């Protein structure tokens, strides 16, 4: 029976964690889309509600939602942001460690530039 060495097991942990976070992101986004459908919120400015443009459009509808639903949606949006940030950090680490890329900070904290 083959047992991977410690370094390979350690590396696999990055990919497993990325898979878990990607699943969480999908669950959160599906929950937000279900709420959007429940209240018949149609965002025509963008096909992707989670793009910057779609997000701004969705936030304009927040005041129209009932109080507790609005609070829940705000919490979900915050959590999507957190999970996306963690995913990005993991992906950068994978790229840096295994593909020889280094992260150069860009103008935005959410966007970085990769350099080989």
Segment 59-107, tens digit of pLDDT? 889 999 999 999 999 999 999 999 999 999 999 988 887 776 666 554 4
Q: Give the containing element (helix H, strand E) for 103.
A: strand 102-105
In this predicted structure, the answer to whether residue 44 has a pLDDT above a threshold of 90 is: no
CB atoms within 10 A of CB 41: 18
Domain boundaries, the chain: 7-115
Q: How many angstroms separate the CA atoms of 115 and 99, rounded?
A: 11
| pTM of the complete model | 0.78
**Percentage, residues of the chain above pLDDT 70:** 85
Q: How many angstroms separate the CA atoms of 77 and 54, rounded?
A: 12
**How does residue 110 score in pLDDT terms, banded at 50, 70 and 90?**
very low
Angle subtended by helix axes 67-99 and 52-61, to nearest 10: 160
pLDDT of residue 88: 94
């Amino acid at each position: 029976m083959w047992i991977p060495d410690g370094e390979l097991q350690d590396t696999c942990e990055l990919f497993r964690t990325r898979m878990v976070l990607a699943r969480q992101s999908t669950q959160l986004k599906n929950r937000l889309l279900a709420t959007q459908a429940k209240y018949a919120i149609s965002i025509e400015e963008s096909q992707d509600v989670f793009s910057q443009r779609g997000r701004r459009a969705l936030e304009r509808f927040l005041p129209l939602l009932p109080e507790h639903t609005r609070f829940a949606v705000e919490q979900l949006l915050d959590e999507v942001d957190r999970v996306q940030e963690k995913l990005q950090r993991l992906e950068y680490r994978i790229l840096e460690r295994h593909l020889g890329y280094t992260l150069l900070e860009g103008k935005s904290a959410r966007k970085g530039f990769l350099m080989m």
